[in-house]
Chain A
Amino acid sequence: MSSTEELLRTEGLTKIFPGVVAVDNVDFDVRVGEIHALVGENGAGKSTLIKILGGVYLPDGGKILLDGREVAFSSTHQSQVSKISVIFQEFNLVPDLTIAENIFIGREPKTAFGTLIDFRRMNAKAAEILAILDMPLNVKSFVADISVAERQMVEIAKALSHESRLIVMDEPTATLTEKEVRKIFEIVRNLRARGVSIIYISHRLEEAFELADRITVMRDGRKVGTRLISETKKNDIIEMMVGKVVKDYFAPRTAGANVGEPLLEVRGYSVADGVEDISFTLYKGEILALAGVLGSGVDRLLQSLFGAIPKKGGEILFEGRSVTIEHPRDAIRLGIGYVTEDRKGAGILPAMSVLHNLTIIKLRALTFLRWLFIRDREETRQFEAIRAMLDIKISGPGQRIIYLSGGNQQKVLIGRTLIGDCKVLILLEPTRGIDVGAKAEIHRMLRELADKGLSVILTSSELPELVNLPDRCIVLYKGRMAAEFSRETMDSEKIVAAQIGQSTGGNGEPG
């Protein structure tokens, strides 16, 4: 276990941005050799806090004490020099440089000539570090060619090469397979054994509970509390995060409610580098989950069903008729809607207003004679209807969408599909990066819509969401159907097992 010796402490740390106090008078401490989980909703201040520790931001108030002495980081470099490394979600690796070059960037060992790099020494040192962490990588490979999990490892190796005593990891396992997550856990525990402290930020409470020694909850920029993992329960943490007891977080649906005839039927469907010979049926008014880890092909299957990427073979029947979907336009015309998981990059239209974002799909229908001019009043009226239904909080239809919170933006994206008379809604990671309160709201909304006849296909990497929200869950593994679960047979362990290819027999078999 960890010691009680203190490594880092913040006192009254504060950071203010125009209009919001991101970090509000936070007293936080990390002990030597401990794994300290940091949790909180989006906007709670975790990212800002670690950015201050990483030297990205200067605090507006309060102090940071390292080993009891006050320090200040005016640059990322200074923070590194103080033996603190922050590994951000987006990674700060250069794809076109090798692993060794990435680890030693900015402080490459030089030859006698002065500015020329001593590649032999650099590669050797890099290999050493990777060996310590038991990472089987070739230091001469380019970062562009290695997997996400391997990049995570390179970041850790980089931190270690700086002889960091504190490593901050921001959502390290968000996109990893179960096996890769295990590997990262192993490495993190290894680090702890070597006396390195870890601040571990995650939206996955199970991970925090499995890995950490202590857990700190932040909310609205303030620290709500710090607890020993061994002395607290998940529900307590959730309560601290949300500030109120969230009932019905995953209220189970009345079994078999309002599920109608087959709406969408997929037969023998294949996508290049994706899935092979998939068949399933989606019924009217049902919520179907497609689960699978990275490499299972779920994402590509759904992208192809929507027409964003081509299919290799197979057939789609919509309302009984065979249809061709080769471009999102075809899918939209049929009544299929799609909400991407990449909200920022492929979801919102940043330069446009909330109104324009929501109505973009339906413009032709709102246009007089389809070509002449857009009927503004009708557009605003339909927008208002959806806005009210989804309870999207805006200051006005003309507000630019980038000023909205993640949860509200997600609602706009969902609204975009609904305004087009959607019959099938495809959602990828519907509540990723959204705080618990908004999560519950979106789940409730999806339930209500399904009850009214909307069919939903969703994917999620959050087990609780997979287990409690949908009526049925189909698991894909390596591009093929691995298992199918109904309301009654749904079980987290079995789902996870199926995702990593360990399907058991019995009621886990594909239907």
Chain B
Amino acid sequence: MKNSRALVWGANRWERYGLPFLVAVILLVFSLLSVPFRSTYNLASNLSFASLVSIGSIGMVFCIMSGDFDISIGSMSALAGVLGASMVTRIGGPGSILLTIAIATLCGFVNGVFVTKLRIPAFITTLGMQFVYRALAYIYTTNTPVYIKDEFWLSIGSGSVLGIPSPILIMGLCFGVAVYVLRKTPFGRHVVAVGTSKNAAMLSGINVDFVKTAVFTLVGFFVGIATVVTASYLGSVNPGMTGQGYEFQVITVVVLGGTALTGGNGNLFGAFFAALFITYLQNGLGLMQVNSYWQYVATGLVLILAISINRLKSTILGQREA
């Protein structure tokens, strides 16, 4: 019988501990298989590295919770990155950083306006904007990479405060704020309400358009932060390369982390662990000299598997009709 007690117990445990468990497994497996993997340096630096995907996933969790998608984040990142990085000589490091974040936020806001005011379904709006943003990035830089010549900016990726690497601090801060907003503020509840039943939310007095626009803006905001940190690692922003496949990775992380695609409940902690999982997975495969093209295959499989597992779990727990 499908809903036997064992299955329900398993589904419950997975919902709570599945992701951390997966991370532990991957750490174990690769530690056994590869010596360089186990070095503290490697483990720690990958933790920092995971911040790239995890910070971007925060906004996406909110977005998917509210019932929408944004597949333009990679291009947003490229556009904001090139615009910000190119201004370094003129307005200095901190200014450019703020500019990058601002532009990404603005892109998110534009997406939000299109989705709410023009009533165009999100996935297709962002699909179109994806190309628009990237085209703009190409045009602005005439297809040449922009190098970051600012010490402050460059130091973010490798720097640390009180012994803790900056990226990890930023990641922690972002997650902390996000969890707080989600659990303890009316806005957080409103996002869940809009995602689970737009009509009921409206009739309860929630301004659905505002919530949705805000959510898309948040996506842009967190993507901006992630872009700043990434650019700091790489030292440059490239209109063609930056953000390629980013939306795919982020969606994988969000889905793997347990956020339901149907809207409603989101899982920020899950997304965090999923980001760790993906990062260590890719790192481990790389260290084992696996052809990097396998990573494409692997990540794609993870996405499809992740969502199948989520659906299975939801069905078992009766959270959805089979």
Contacts and interface: CB of A to CB of B under 8 A. Distances in A.
Whether A and B touch (Cβ < 8 Å) is answered with yes
Interface of A: 18, 306, 308, 327-329, 331-333, 338, 340, 342, 345-352, 356, 360-361, 363-364, 367, 371-374, 400, 416
A351 B264 contact: yes
Interface string B74-97: 000000000000000000000000
Given A346-B200, A351-B196, A367-B186, A18 B207 contact: no
Contacts of A332: 204-205
Mostly, the A contact residues are mixed
Contacts of A352: 189, 192-193, 196, 264
Interface string B142-171: 000000000000000000000000000000
30 contacts: A308-B202, A328-B205, A329-B205, A329-B207, A331-B205, A332-B204, A332-B205, A340-B203, A342-B199, A346-B197, A346-B200, A346-B203, A347-B203, A349-B193, A349-B200, A351-B260, A351-B319, A352-B192, A356-B192, A360-B193, A360-B201, A361-B204, A361-B205, A363-B186, A363-B189, A367-B186, A371-B185, A373-B185, A400-B319, A416-B204
B196 A349 contact: yes
B196 A327 contact: no
B284 interface: no
B265 interface: yes
Interface of B: 3, 180, 184-186, 189-190, 192-193, 195-197, 199-207, 260, 263-265, 318-319
A426 to B, nearest CB: 10
Contacts of A308: 202-203
Contact of B204 (A360, A372, A374): A360
Contacts of A361: 204-205
Given A308-B203, A351-B263, A360-B204, 14 more contacts: A329-B207, A340-B203, A347-B203, A349-B193, A349-B196, A349-B197, A349-B200, A351-B195, A352-B189, A364-B186, A367-B186, A372-B185, A374-B184, A416-B204
Contacts of A329: 205-207
A361 B195 CA distance: 16
Nearest to A375: B184
B3 A18 contact: yes
Nearest to B262: A351
A59 B203 CA distance: 40
Contacts of B207: 327, 329
Contacts of B190: 363
B199 A345 contact: yes
A305 to B, nearest CB: 13
Contacts of B189: 352, 356, 360, 363, 374
Contacts of A350: 196-197, 264
